[in-house]
Chains A and B, each alone.
Chain A
Amino acid sequence: DAKTTQPNSMESNEEEPVHLPCNHSTISGTDYIHWYRQLPSQGPEYVIHGLTSNVNNRMASLAIAEDRKSSTLILHRATLRDAAVYYCIEAKNNFNKFYFGSGTKLNVKP
């Protein structure tokens, strides 16, 4: 069952940073935090994942709270192509069974 909560929707202006929050207050010590995004009529696309430390890759940054009960996905400069539904998922890395929550629909305005 989904254990994460996210805002239903967020809006951003193009070229500006976006901070997408996620609460995972029941996360256990060995659960990873994964972020995926989905465009309409497509399969989800991997964005980033982490365990305890903040993570950076070419797509985004992931800031994980010290108590690990929440995290924030950071898109440094939103583009129109970043408009999608973003899912935050906690999963045991060895099983990787994903129970998706409702996600956040990000709208990017030109």
Chain B
Amino acid sequence: GAVVSQHPSRVICKSGTSVKIECRSLDFQATTMFWYRQFPKKSLMLMATSNEGSKATYEQGVEKDKFLINHASLTLSTLTVTSAHPEDSSFYICSAGPSEFYNEQFFGPGTRLTVL
């Protein structure tokens, strides 16, 4: 299957700062990427759909000015958590797909964000 990477794998930041998380599809082009967040012992929650060359589509209840998404190319989407607060501490996971060759989504390894 295809490989999706995320960077960084974990980040600790101070309250009020912004944090950028990168999601890359390493061996295929993805016009669509997705961003999820997951709290401890909970399931994944879809935050937004990232579309290459257009604005992201956010799920109900997700603040678009708080979670900025940029899909700069067919292999890169970024999620920026602006003015982070402790309640934003979570496990953020991206996925890419489907694509020309794959029907399924491929998930990245996740980014652990801790806001102090």
Instruction: Report which A residues bind B (CB closer than 8 A).
Output: 2, 32, 34, 36, 38, 41-46, 49, 87, 93-94, 96-103
Residues on A with C-beta less than 8 A from B44 are: 38, 44, 87, 98, 100
Give A34's nearest chain B residue, CB to CB.
Answer: B104
Judge whether B43 and A46 touch: CB under 8 Å: no
Q: Which residues of B contact A44 (CB under 8 A)?
A: 44, 93, 95, 107
**B residues bordering A, Cβ < 8 Å?**
1, 4, 6, 32, 34, 36, 43-46, 49, 91, 93, 95, 97-98, 103-110, 112
Question: Is the Cβ of A100 less than 8 Å from the Cβ of B104?
Answer: no
Residue on B nearest A94 in the bound complex, by CB: B98
By a CB distance below 8 angstroms, the chain B residues around A97 are 34, 46, 49
Q: In the complex, which of the residues B34, B43, B95, B108 contacts A87, with contact meaning CB atoms closer than 8 Å?
A: B43
